[in-house]
Structure formats: structure tokens, C-alpha cells
């Protein structure tokens, strides 16, 4: 189709008087594919209902550009009117780096969110559509240049975080729209099945928006992890990503086998492929190395995640409490646990101890004896893996000059002792990524496909049986394996920074029955604060140490339990279980208006109003 034929065709349809923006879509598709034969222009209404632009231009299945078409004569092709196209155009400009807005006659070109140029191949007059042949050669050149666009090499971490966040934000919007559409039409889809499984097994009150957020972030960071392991920089695809996800993370590998396969929901495929395009344009490993150097951060990956989150949605970051636990706090807690293991438990190697103990476990209804490591470590609110990573760093220091035996030690005596539970899929993916990167940096070379014992599960619940859906069975496998730890592993060190939330959604019978010990015979009118998540996590840790018969509970947490009147039974129960209790009250409660010893303002180690304390509780074997 030539430009002249295109204008003739749309003019005839326009004159009928009943044309809409959808009327001319086939014409524009034919024109693009005629002028640039190497490009495929797809226009799928189902995708558009879920927030995709009207046309996705692909070359060898990779999206290279997007076109949003409005009705002929649209009054806001510049996208400046709040009552016009502004919201939609801004959303696309923030997320898609090669973009055209058109009313089928005039074409506005954007690159990386910036306006480049505009050109009209015809104009609307009282007599109909009038061709402007003097602009046709320029238009053809502009369109061909648009289709030749190759993403510029991304060299800065800020740019990568910004672009990843833009795509993830649009992906979340597309997923939410798809889920709401499925609910309205009572349609079954893999996305709907996955959200229902997530609701049943992990977060029971998650909304379509909440699910869309964690799902989009997980795909973005799964891609990030895959590209980090990619030895072939010139190529990358959904299929390649599925192969490259480390075998130490079986759940993410299964999720990406779905993302890479033919069953992926067609409404999200285009934006996942658009994310692939970003990673094709960068060397993630190089960017992270440079980021670590420029920020002088010990954990560039986590600070990169924070940069990503603040670009993705600063409010969400605050609501989730995704604040990096300050390195000095994490370091202090890990060193304290190491020291107490040496001095109180006669374990000279502390956290590096590789001694074993015998336990009885149930296998197919029979109790059998098994040998397991004595110093089992658990972070029940792993987040992005900061505490477990600090344990790895601390233990690695003890192997200075013994690099030859390090890999064997990691496989035989470290990984089998590091346990973590995490509820949020994106943080879970990050924890795996952080441990994987850190172990590689220490010189660890895996000889087996040993998984990291960090599981996607709700610490405060017992296991749920999965439904028939595939996604549900993947989540059930994670919950099942976590359940083995809850049931059989003699956890000796419970560490971390559990969440604080007075209006806790964790109301399982199991954790409620445990925290009942803190509430009995109080005769108080309001004991709601005793249902705060942080209190449930302290009770959870106490339960494990009690079950093992000895050990250390070491958290940084909300400090209200130290002197709260309604917390008196909790303090009594803790004193019954533990022989020694070290509490470092870091203060920082904005409501109490406390001051520092020198009279200056009392500051919190986190950017929150609630005061915190470091709590290290020790139980010796009787």
C-alpha cells in the first residue's frame, strides 16, 4: 500500500460519517508494513482493553516501537489536556522509549519520553481529507528511522532502574486491568488462576492491584537476575531468561518457564517482551560493579532495588516498609549472635560451626533418626536477604587464606543451615539474587544444583494444600518445604527485622494460639496492640527456640513491648523461656518527644515514627 492509496482508503471511510478511531486501524497497519517490510505491526483489541497501545511494532518478535492512534481530527495529539489524552500519553511516555501518537493524518514522534518531531501526510478540511504529498518522503524516512531504532546502550544504574521501573509500572497497570476485566466478564485466565492461588496460599486479602504490583516487580527482577547470568550479551529473550534463572531458585525458574512458554497471557506478552529490549541494551554485571564503586555501598544490589522502588512507586515503598536495615545494625546483630554462640554455647567457630546433631523426623508416618547441622539459622521475615547475606560475609571472613576449601564448605556446611521465609514475591526474588551474587563474589563455585533454603511462604501460617492450578502447585511446593523447617529443623538462631503492623492480617489459628500466652488474665479493655505482627514474630521465634531447647532470638523490632502496660504477660513469658535478655533500646519514638542525652532531637535508625530496640534473648539447655 502506498501513502496515496492509504489516504484514499481512509478518506472513503471517513466520508461515510460513522467512522471511529477503530475504523482505520487495518489501513495504518498495511501502510506501516508496506513502507517497512521487515516490521510486523500488530493491533489486538484484547490487549488494548488492558492498557496496551494500539499498535505494537515488532522485529523478530522483539517490540521496537509503539503507536497510539486517536480519532481523525483529535484535538489533543500533544497530550496536554487533563480532560484529553494527558494521563494516557504521560503513562506511555514514562514507560515506552519509542513512540508515535497519531490521528491517522498527523504523526508525533517521541523517543525516551522526549518529543522529537511531528509531520502530517494529510489534513482535514471542510471537503474531506486533503493529501499533503510534499511531506510523504520525509514521513517515510521518519517512519523507517523509527523502525530502525536500537535502544542506546544503558550504562548508568539510575537510567536502568528508571527504565525498569517504567516498564514494570506499565506492566502492573496492564495486569491489573486484565484481572479486573476477567472479574467483570467472569472469564477464566492463567493470570486469574495465579492470583487466586496467591490469595489462597500466601496473602489472603490481596487485591488485583496488589497482585499486579508484586507480579510485575518479580518479572522485572527475574529478568534482571537472568541477564546478570547471561554470557551472550548480543542476544536475550523471554526463552533465554527462563534458561538463565539460577537453579538455586526453583520457584522463579518455574514462573519463568510459564513467562517464556506459549501459555503466557497474550495481554501481557508485549510488555514482557518490551522489558527484554531494555536488558538487551545493557551489561547488568558491569552496571552493578560501577554502582558499587560510585555509591561505596557494600550491597549495591539492595540499594539498586531501593532506587528502583522509589522510581516505581515511592508511596508503595513506604507502605510496604521496604527500608534497608542499616548495615551497622545488621552487622552488630550478626556479630553478637556469633559471640554468644562462642561464649554461652561453647561453639568456638560461632556462626561457622559445622557440628551436627541427631533429630527424629517423620517420613511417611514413621519416625526416623536424621543427622542435621546444629547451628541452624532462620530469618522468618527475610525481605531482600540482608541478614542472611551478612551471615555469609561474617562466616567467609573466617576462611581467609583457605579459599580452596570454601566452595566445599558452602555446599556441605553453610547452605544447609541458612533458612529464610518471605511473603512478598519481589523481595523473595531479590533475596535469592543477593545471596547468589554474594556467594559468587566470595569465590563459591557450585558443583550441584542445590537450592537456597529461602522460601516463598507465610511464616505465621501452617501449610495450605494447593488447588489444581500449576501456579498453586509451585506455591504449595515452597510452603511444603518451608513446613519441613517449621516442623523438623532444630532452629538455634532466629534473626531479622520483622514487620510492624498493629492491624495485622496474619490471623491464622496457629499463630493466634501461640500469642494467646501473651494475652491471658490481663483484664485490659484494649489488647489489640498485642496482635501486632512484630509481637507475633517474637512469639514465633520464642516457639522455635523453645522447641529446640536452646538458642538465640535476635531481632531489631518495635520497642513498645519493653515498658507497655499490656505487654506485662509477654515480658513474663519471655523471661520464663530465656535465661539472658539483652535489650538495646534505640529510642526514636517521635510521639514520645524524647531527646538524646546531649539535649538534641532523638533520631530513629529508620525513617519511621515508632521507636525500635535491638533484642537478643538467650536460652541455655537445661
Residues 417-447 pLDDT 10s: 999 999 888 889 889 988 998 998 899 988 8
Phi/psi region, residue 17 (left: phi>0; alpha: psi -120 to 50; beta: rest), is left
Residues 6+ apart with CB under 8 A from 54: 25, 43, 48, 67, 68, 69
Per-residue DSSP letters for 72-93? TT-TTTT---TTTTHHHHHHHH
User: 1.10.3470, 3.40.50, 3.90.1570, 3.40.30: which CATH number matches 3-148?
Assistant: 3.90.1570
pLDDT at position 326 over 50 = yes
pLDDT at position 176 over 80 = yes
Q: Which residue from 210, 200, 454 is spatially nearest to 319, judged by alpha carbons?
A: 210
How far apart, in whole angstroms, are the C-alpha atoms of residue 55 and residue 43? 5
**pLDDT for the residue numbered 573:** 94
**pLDDT for the residue numbered 481:** 87
With bands split at pLDDT 50, 70 and 90, how would you rate the model's confidence at 509?
confident
What does the buried/exposed string (b/e) look like for 17-27 if buried means 16 or more CB atoms within 10 Å of the residue's CB? eebebebbbeb
**H or E stretch at 285:** helix 284-295
Backbone φ, ψ for residue 459 (5° rounding): -55, -35
Q: Cα 443 from chain centroid?
A: 27
Q: Which residue from 466, 573, 515 is spatially nearest to 194, judged by alpha carbons?
A: 466
pLDDT at position 364 over 80 = no
CB 279 within 8 A of CB 301: no
**pLDDT for the residue numbered 596:** 72
With bands split at pLDDT 50, 70 and 90, how would you rate the model's confidence at 111?
confident
Q: Report in angstroms the alpha-carbon separations of 480 from 133, 291, 366, 429, 495.
A: 68, 38, 18, 18, 22
Residues 6+ apart with CB under 8 A from 489: 372, 376, 378, 419
pLDDT at position 504 over 70 = no
Backbone φ, ψ for residue 122 (5° rounding): -165, 165
Do the strands 376-379 and 491-496 form a parallel or antiparallel pair, or are they unpaired? parallel
How far apart, in whole angstroms, are the C-alpha atoms of residue 422 and residue 428? 6
201-211 confidence digits (pLDDT tens): 888 888 999 89
With bands split at pLDDT 50, 70 and 90, how would you rate the model's confidence at 122?
very high
Cell numbers 505491526 correspond to: 41
Cα dihedral angle (512, 516, 518, 522), rounded to 10 degrees?
130
pLDDT at position 614 over 90 = yes
Q: Report in angstroms the alpha-carbon separations of 142 from 106, 136, 189, 414.
A: 13, 10, 39, 58
Cell numbers 543477593 correspond to: 434
Q: Cα 420 from chain centroid?
A: 16
Cell numbers 489534513 correspond to: 123
Most confident of 81-95, 294-308, 328-342, 506-520: 328-342
Around Cβ 111, how many Cβ atoms within 10 Å? 15
559-582 confidence digits (pLDDT tens): 889 988 888 999 999 999 999 999
Cα dihedral angle (607, 610, 612, 618), rounded to 10 degrees?
-130
**pLDDT for the residue numbered 598:** 74
Cell numbers 511531506 correspond to: 135
Instruction: Using a pLDDT cut of 90, give the percent of the chain over it.
Output: 32
Sheet containing 114-120, strands listed edge to edge, beginning at the edge strand earlier in sequence: 40-42, 55-59, 62-69, 98-102, 106-111, 114-120
352-361 confidence digits (pLDDT tens): 999 999 988 8
438-480 confidence digits (pLDDT tens): 998 899 988 888 899 999 988 888 755 555 567 788 888 888 8
**pLDDT for the residue numbered 3:** 94
pLDDT at position 393 over 60 = yes
CB 545 within 8 A of CB 619: yes
What does the buried/exposed string (b/e) look like for 254-278 if buried means 16 or more CB atoms within 10 Å of the residue's CB? bbbbbbbeeebbebbbbbbbbbbbb
How far apart, in whole angstroms, are the C-alpha atoms of residue 267 and residue 117? 30
Across all residues in the chain, what is the average pLDDT?
Answer: 85
Q: Which residue from 552, 513, 556, 520 is spatially nearest to 536, judged by alpha carbons?
A: 513
This prediction's pTM: 0.80
User: 3.40.50, 3.30.70, 3.30.390, 1.20.1430: which CATH number matches 327-619?
Assistant: 3.40.50
Instruction: Using a pLDDT cut of 70, give the percent of the chain over it.
Output: 90
**pLDDT for the residue numbered 600:** 73
With bands split at pLDDT 50, 70 and 90, how would you rate the model's confidence at 296?
very low
How far apart, in whole angstroms, are the C-alpha atoms of residue 379 and residue 383? 9
Task: Give the cell for residue 615.
Answer: 533484642
With bands split at pLDDT 50, 70 and 90, how would you rate the model's confidence at 59?
confident
Q: Cα 402 from chain centroid?
A: 36
Where do the domains of the chain lie?
Answer: 3-148, 157-319, 327-619
Amino acid at each position: 500500500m502506498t501513502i496515496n492509496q492509504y489516504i484514499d482508503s481512509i478518506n472513503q471511510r471517513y466520508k461515510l460519517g460513522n467512522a471511529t478511531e477503530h475504523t482505520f486501524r487495518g489501513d495504518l497497519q498495511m501502510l506501516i508494513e508496506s513502507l517497512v517490510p521487515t516490521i510486523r505491526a500488530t493491533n489486538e483489541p484484547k490487549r488494548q482493553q488492558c492498557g496496551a497501545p494500539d499498535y505494537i511494532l515488532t522485529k523478530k518478535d522483539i517490540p521496537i516501537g509503539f503507536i497510539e492512534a486517536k480519532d481523525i481530527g483529535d484535538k489533543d495529539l500533544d497530550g496536554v489536556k487533563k480532560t484529553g489524552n494527558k494521563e494516557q500519553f504521560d503513562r506511555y511516555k514514562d514507560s515506552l522509549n519509542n513512540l508515535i501518537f497519531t490521528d491517522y493524518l498527523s504523526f508525533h514522534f517521541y523517543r525516551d519520553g522526549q518529543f522529537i518531531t511531528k509531520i502530517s501526510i494529510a489534513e482535514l478540511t471542510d471537503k474531506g481529507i486533503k493529501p499533503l504529498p510534499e511531506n510523504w518522503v520525509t514521513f517515510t524516512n521518519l517512519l523507517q528511522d523509527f523502525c530502525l531504532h536500537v535502544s542506546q546502550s544503558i550504562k548508568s544504574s539510575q537510567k536502568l532502574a528508571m527504565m525498569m521501573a517504567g516498564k514494570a509500572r506499565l506492566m502492573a497497570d496492564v495486569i491489573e486491568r486484565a484481572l479486573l476485566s476477567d472479574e467483570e466478564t467472569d472469564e477464566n485466565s492463567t493470570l486469574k488462576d495465579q492470583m487466586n492461588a496467591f490469595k489462597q496460599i500466601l496473602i489472603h486479602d490481596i487485591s488485583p492491584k496488589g497482585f499486579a504490583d508484586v507480579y510485575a516487580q518479580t518479572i522485572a527482577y527475574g529478568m534482571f537476575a537472568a541477564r546478570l547470568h547471561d554470557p551472550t550479551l548480543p542476544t536475550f529473550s523471554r526463552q533465554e531468561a527462563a534458561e538463565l534463572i539460577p537453579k538455586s531458585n526453583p520457584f522463579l525458574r518455574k514462573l519463568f518457564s510459564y513467562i517464556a512458554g506459549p501459555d503466557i497471557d497474550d495481554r501481557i506478552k508485549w510488555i514482557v517482551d518490551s522489558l527484554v529490549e531494555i536488558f538487551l541494551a545493557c551489561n547488568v554485571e558491569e552496571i552493578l560493579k560501577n554502582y558499587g564503586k560510585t555509591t561505596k555501598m557494600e550491597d549495591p544490589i539492595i540499594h539498586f532495588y531501593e532506587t528502583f522502588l522509589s522510581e516505581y512507586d515511592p508511596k508503595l515503598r513506604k507502605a510496604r516498609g521496604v527500608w534497608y536495615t542499616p548495615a551497622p545494625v545488621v552487622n552488630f546483630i550478626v556479630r553478637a549472635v556469633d559471640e554468644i554462640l562462642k561464649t554461652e554455647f561453647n561453639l568456638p567457630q560461632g556462626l561457622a560451626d559445622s557440628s551436627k546433631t541427631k533429630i527424629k523426623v517423620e517420613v511417611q508416618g514413621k519416625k526416623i533418626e536424621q543427622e542435621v547441622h546444629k547451628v541452624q539459622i532462620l530469618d522468618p521475615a527475610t525481605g531482600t536477604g540482608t541478614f542472611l547475606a551478612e551471615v555469609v560475609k561474617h562466616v567467609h571472613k573466617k576462611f581467609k587464606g583457605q579459599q580452596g576449601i570454601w566452595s566445599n564448605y558452602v555446599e556441605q556446611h553453610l547452605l544447609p543451615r541458612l533458612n529464610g521465609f518471605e511473603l512478598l514475591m519481589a523481595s523473595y526474588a531479590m533475596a535469592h539474587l543477593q545471596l547468589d551474587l554474594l556467594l559468587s563474589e566470595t569465590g563459591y563455585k557450585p558443583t550441584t544444583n542445590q537450592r537456597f533454603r529461602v522460601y516463598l511462604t507465610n511464616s505465621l501460617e501452617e501449610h495450605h494444600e494447593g488447588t489444581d492450578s500449576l501456579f498453586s502447585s509451585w506455591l504449595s511446593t515452597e510452603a511444603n518445604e518451608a513446613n519441613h523447617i517449621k516442623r523438623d529443623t532444630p532452629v538455634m538462631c532466629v534473626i531479622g527485622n520483622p514487620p510492624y503492623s498493629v492491624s495485622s492480617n496474619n490471623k491464622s489459628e496457629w499463630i493466634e494460639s501461640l500469642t494467646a500466652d501473651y494475652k491471658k488474665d490481663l483484664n485490659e479493655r484494649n489488647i489489640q496492640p498485642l496482635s501486632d505482627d512484630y509481637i507475633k514474630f517474637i512469639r514465633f521465634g520464642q516457639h522455635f527456640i523453645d522447641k529446640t531447647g536452646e538458642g538465640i532470638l535476635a531481632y531489631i523490632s518495635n520497642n513498645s513491648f519493653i515498658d507497655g502496660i499490656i505487654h506485662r504477660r509477654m515480658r513474663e513469658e519471655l523471661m520464663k523461656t530465656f535465661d539472658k535478655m539483652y535489650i538495646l533500646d534505640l529510642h526514636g519514638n517521635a510521639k514520645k518527644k524524647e531527646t538524646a542525652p546531649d539535649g538534641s532531637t532523638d533520631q530513629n535508625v529508620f525513617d519511621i515514627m515508632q521507636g525500635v530496640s535491638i533484642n537478643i534473648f538467650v536460652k541455655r539447655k537445661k
